[in-house]
Amino acid sequence: MRFANTLATLLVAAAFSMAGTVLHAQATSGPIQSTNGTYIQIDPLAGVRYDNRFDFSVGLASGHIHAGPNLREGADLGGLDLSGSYWLSKRWGLEGSARGYLGTSGTAPNPDHLSGLFVAQYMFLAGPEYQWIHNKHASVVLHALAGGAYGDFNTDLRGNTPGPTGPAGFYTNQTALGGAIGGHLDLNRSAHWAFRVTPDALLTGYDGTSGYPHTQWNFGISVGVLYKFKSKR
């Protein structure tokens, strides 16, 4: 867990360090016209604005989880991140996000030789976001999202007893508290399209003892594209 937290910190720091570098970059050349006046080079970012009402993004996602309360080995899952925003002002907006992570996880030592079992996590989140530093090249958007997480841990148990006391040591299938704290780094490619990187600290509250919920913090990241709709405030 300490290694996962360290890795998450380094990756988030690297992403936002990249943002700072891009945000201070300046265009090195302006429009160019040939001697006969027939060729013009146009800046593709000249129309970038931050007054859109809606935007939508889709990205390939990766998330780290622990499939059971006592498992030392975590699992890195892959999936999809779909997010949309409604901007109330130039700085503040409301974001909704649906994320699915699929993969396999190691198990507790067991006499049935179970290993590499399928697990999945689905998150449905919403919350405020804040448009931080930005220019025509890039922007950084911070968010704090909360909602629910559904963990599918028992699909591949092959008839064995589910739950932490079972041979795999996994959680039982359940819906729990979910959250994501982090943000987006958007690298603009045109007035409407941007390349988006989203590093987050992912919160889940799966119950491993049927009596006391456990809070898990793990790292997640997605990489994809953002589209800003034309509708303006």
What residues make up the domain containing 14? Answer: 2-24+55-228
Is pLDDT of 19 > 60? no
Dist. CA 183–CA 108, nearest whole Å:
34
CATH classification of the domain holding 73? 2.40.160.20
Nearest to 134 by CA among 166, 170, 90: 90
Single-letter residue type at 209: T
What pLDDT, on a 0 to 100 scale, did the predictor assign at position 2? 46
For residues 207 and 26, the model is more confident at 207
Q: Where are the alpha helices (DSSP H) in 58-186?
A: none
Classify residue 37: in a domain, yes or no.
no
Q: Give the number of domains in the chain.
A: 1
Look at residue 179 in the predicted model and tell me its pLDDT: 97
Say if 45 falls within a structural domain.
Answer: no
The alpha-carbon radius of gyration of the chain (Å, integer) is 22
pLDDT digits (tens, 9 = 90+) for 50-102: 989 999 999 999 999 999 988 888 899 999 999 999 999 999 999 999 999 99
User: Is residue 201 in a domain?
Assistant: yes
In a domain, 38, yes or no: no
| 44 within some domain | no
In a domain, 29, yes or no: no
Measure the CA–CA gap between 145 and 125, rounded to whole angstroms. 6
Q: What is the pLDDT of residues 93-129, one digit of tens each?
A: 999 999 999 999 999 998 888 889 999 999 999 999 9
Looking at the domain assignment, is residue 84 inside a domain?
A: yes
